[in-house]
Chain A
Amino acid sequence: MDIRKSILKNHETFEKEIENLLQYASEIICGIPYSRQIKKEEKYLILESLVLRACAFWELFLEKEVIFCTLLDTKNIKAEFGLTPNTRLTAELVRAIIFSDRYRDLHDLERTKGFYKKILCERYNLLLNVSKDQINKISFIYKIRNYLSHYSTFSKKTLIEGYMGLYKQNNFQKPGLFLNHGKGDRFMKLLSAFKMASINMRKLIK
């Protein structure tokens, strides 16, 4: 198995999925196809759904990424999980080691930085090359995602804090309406962060 090839393939697939999603969102925002335009309420609903979809792609992508990057140099993971140096690790085995004991949400790069450091050797910790701005945007997208998944008081409060933190907006807006602001500019900038983060990561593997 050519691990580098697998990593690049993982990036290619992810970036393509995000790009397709962005282009679809652009068309919806611009009222295309002209012959089959939708109401603005539907538009908001679609934008919200696309956030959920993008997050799912991101999580799937990260899961694979961590496994592949671990395989590039297994020293750290072996030390972390008390494996003998001669243990032969495969993708399936690494997946089992990382994800089978408990649920790990790896999507929040800031919060899981420590875990990544423990299992990935610095040379292959591609996540280190994601920019601060991209981390902030992704973290904010997850505030939207959590609100859309739960509609709980807590997730709403966290989202309002997010609106204030990143956009200096102190009133609550439904995410679809919020994302459509500036002819959808907010949506495009936020969701592009996923793709740009992936580009920054794969830059180290070139």
Chain B
Amino acid sequence: MPRVERRMRTGVRLLLGAVWLAVALFALRALVL
């Protein structure tokens, strides 16, 4: 697969990864607060 295509896929994964991470941090508040 060309790098140009891989970059695009990585970009999409990073976007959605950021949302999953935000959900995890939100839940972990319960342990901290």
Answer whether A and B are interacting partners: no
